[in-house]
Amino acid sequence: MTEVEYIVAKKLTPAHDSVADWNKNWHDHLVEIQTGRVQVLDLPPDKAKEVSDLVSTTDGLIFHLWPHGSQIPTGKVTIAQSVGHVPRTK
């Protein structure tokens, strides 16, 4: 395992983080799904859409546990960001 992602309801994240902290650490799953890089595997298309629709109502926070280039985990944990991240303004 190299990363762990927390998935949290969008209504909860603004209450616990400033906009600057959210922009640094969190990403919007709706934006990420709209990039086309997210796929729900091993489900029929209608069920995959249900999962996608539900996840699009959440934000994500990714903990990267295995430093790039390291042969083993080192205990150093960093926050990874979604490739399609779009900063919030408010």
Quote the number of domains for the chain.
1
Task: Find the domain containing 28 and state its range.
Answer: 3-80
C-alpha–C-alpha distance, residues 75 and 70, integer Å: 11
The residue ranking higher by pLDDT, 19 or 17, is: 19
88, part of any domain: no
87, part of any domain: no
45, part of any domain: yes
Q: What is the pLDDT of residue 80?
A: 92
Q: What is the pLDDT of residue 37?
A: 87
- Residue 59 pLDDT > 80: yes
The residue ranking higher by pLDDT, 54 or 1, is: 54
Sheet strands (E) in the chain? 3-9, 26-28, 58-64, 78-80
23, part of any domain: yes
Phi-psi region of 69 (alpha: psi -120 to 50; beta: other; left: phi over 0): left
